[in-house]
Amino acid sequence: MSRPKEMTRAVIVGHKSILKETIDALHDTNLFHIEDFVEDESGFKISKPFKNAEEVSKKLVKIRSIANYLGIESKKPVVQKTDSILRELDSKLNELDRTISAKTESISQLENELKDLESQKREILPYLSIDLDFEYYRGYESLRVFAGTVKSSLEESQISSITQAYELYFDPQSKAVVLFVAKNDAGKVYEVLQGLGFKEFRVPERGGVPSELLRFIEQREAEVTRRIESLKGEIESLKTRYADFILASDEVLTIESQKAELPLRIATSENAFIIDGWAPTEDYDKLVSVVNSATKGKAYITSLEIHEEEEENAPVEYNNSKVVAPMQEIMDLYSRPKYTEIDPSSAIFITFPLIYGLILGDIGYAMILGGLALTIKKLVKSDAVKPLMNILIYCEISAAFFGVLYGEFLGFALASLHTEHGVVPGLIPGWETITLFEGIGGEAFTFPVHRSHMVMTMIVVSIVVGLLHLNFGYLLGFSNVARNHGMKHAILEKGSWMIIELGAILAAAGYLVVGGSALMYVGAIVLVLGIVMLAMGEGIAGVVELPSLMGNTLSYARIIAVGLSSIYIAGTVNDIAFGMIWADHSQIGFAALAAILVFMLGHSLNSVLSIIAPGLHALRLQYVEFFGKFYQGGGRKFNPFGYIRKYTEE
């Protein structure tokens, strides 16, 4: 069981003239977790950022906005030299900025033109069926022009009954009307038109025949769209050309800005600075030598004794082997351990896959999901996905192991089973189920374990697994309390729970097995002793918690419950699929194809459920039942001052 990495509290003091060298050295080592200085009455003040800070952050904002605009994503790094990047930075950044803003400006101009053309087109469209030059619509002294649409159809006689001096253009299909009448008759004609639901259109200000205008506008539209596309293509090519540069300079500038802004986080006086922080004890000597060589021994660096209340707040860095490391994701999902606590990653490394396997226990699903996890791990290079896939692989190994133990493959039993109701054949001919011993409730304990035929026995097995898990938790809690508060507290707070369990088991055994013997009274006395100890250790709150012990233990019954639900889903899919195939009388027809489809879909669904259901329940048993016995969490992440370079090197 590992503890978080041991930390040393260190203080670096020096003259301000060597501040820059010190910061550079600290940043390069990436080992020192700096505690932010809070101004108090000591007379020290936080300092001002370095002179280049403003410029660096301006450039950083610019480069990030460009990266954002171009949609640059992190990719396989091409490592570049820092100084060559810095040399080219200004010119390249300005050039990039200029080109992009020129191009975006022309794009937005073109887009405006496109909108303009669109609205012109809308104006012309109603006139399309009346191919009359727009010049004819205006400039008359004695004529009135009506241009618009009507709702119902317009007969020429309706106009001719009012006046003979008219010229009418009407398109019966679009109901567009253009009517020229003498001004004197305009009023009457307008009334008629209004009766027909006349709606006037604006006459476009330009001259020309509508159909020709439309053709011209459409040509222009196509041209503008083409130009926008080509500009966008040019921007896209900028993206591929400059991606490496942008990623590298973002990194360089981020590093520069971190360094330039550090003085805001440390204590300084007129002429001196103090940097306070934590370093892993194993790396402390390296830190000292790096700082000394960078400042030619002018900086004073020393380790401080850690007080108890400081120890609680020390930053926490996991200290696990590579194999266990993926489990840290599960820890971080809950809460990072405190510096003073046991880090239970290695405990979960065993118990989480174990419980997952106990629940799923199917060779078929283990193979499907294990293969899936391996493929995703190969294909996806993301650092966030890899640990999760590793956890899934651990779980599937365990599930495959229990799959052999349970003799299950996609819900089929692998071994044949002889019951009172006859023989249930297995998938592997010749593999017979062996009865090992009498189980609980008249069930036989067999190998392989047929879970659906020995439910009561498996409930008891699940609960025993739960008791072991819980007591493992109490032991870890015992170790935590013993380390931090002494043995007496440990026995009263955590040991009392185990004594209570022991008393309950003794009393139950005395009552059930022996039948009310002295053993029962001994058990009762032990139980009461445990409760008294608990009350002394944790007060009345501990006694109130007592029933939760039973709840927590019974909660482990979900191991068999969730497992059975998975078997029944798989079994139902198999029954439906094979029922359809047999119904077909060995002909390859529609039913057989449908059966294959049902089989595939059903098992894909159950595969997905086989990640979620056993995963969540196994996780919950860790978080609620197991962690509840010892774990507090709430540690601060060890976040050293520095940067892990991906795209650049010194």
For residues 586-615, b (16+ Cβ closer than 10 Å) or e, as one string?
Answer: eeeeebbeebeebbeebbeebbebbbebbb
CB of 458 to another protein, least distance (A): 10
CB of 623 to another protein, least distance (A): 5
* DSSP state string for 132-162: --GGGGS--SSEEEEEEE-SS---HHHHHTT
CB of 328 to another protein, least distance (A): 13
Distance in angstroms (rounded) separating the CA atoms of residues 411 and 366: 12
Distance in angstroms (rounded) separating the CA atoms of residues 139 and 145: 10
Cβ nearer to another protein, comparing 456 with 525: 456
Cβ nearer to another protein, comparing 425 with 441: 441
Cβ nearer to another protein, comparing 456 with 546: 456
Q: How far is CA 250 from CA 54, 59, 255, 263, 415, in A?
A: 15, 9, 9, 21, 61
CB of 435 to another protein, least distance (A): 19
Cβ nearer to another protein, comparing 558 with 629: 558
Q: State the Cα angle at 380 between 378 and 385, rounded to 5°.
A: 105
Estimate to the nearest angstrom the gap between the alpha carbon of 534 and the chain centroid.
Answer: 41
Cβ nearer to another protein, comparing 40 with 383: 383
Distance in angstroms (rounded) separating the CA atoms of residues 598 and 581: 11
Cβ nearer to another protein, comparing 409 with 627: 627
CB of 339 to another protein, least distance (A): 19
Residues, the chain: 650
CB of 556 to another protein, least distance (A): 9
Distance in angstroms (rounded) separating the CA atoms of residues 275 and 234: 49
Q: Provide the total of helices (H) and of strands (E) in the chain, helices listed first.
A: 20, 20
DSSP 174: T
CB of 360 to another protein, least distance (A): 17
Cβ nearer to another protein, comparing 456 with 543: 456
Cβ nearer to another protein, comparing 399 with 613: 613
Cβ nearer to another protein, comparing 59 with 617: 617
* DSSP state string for 251-314: HHHHHHHHHHHGGGGSEE-SSEEEEEEEEEGGGHHHHHHHHHHHHTT-SEEEEEPPPHHHHHTS
CB of 34 to another protein, least distance (A): 22
Residues that bind another protein (CB under 8 A): 332-335, 441, 455-456, 459, 551, 554-555, 557-558, 561, 616-617, 619-620, 623-624
Q: How far is CA 82 from CA 15, 159, 250, 274, 646, in A?
A: 28, 85, 11, 29, 11
CB of 601 to another protein, least distance (A): 26
